[in-house]
Amino acid sequence: MELIFELEFKETAIEDLKFWAKNDLRILKKIESLLSSIKKNPYVGIGKPEALKYDLAGYWSRRINKEHRIIYAVNGKIITIHSMRFHYDRKLN
Please list the active-site residues.
50, 87
Maximum alpha-carbon separation in the chain: 38
First to last CA, the chain: 33
- CA 50-54-55 angle, 5° bins: 105
Q: How many alpha carbons lie under 13 Å from residue 23 in its C-beta half-sphere?
A: 7
In the beta sheet, which residues pair with residue 19? none
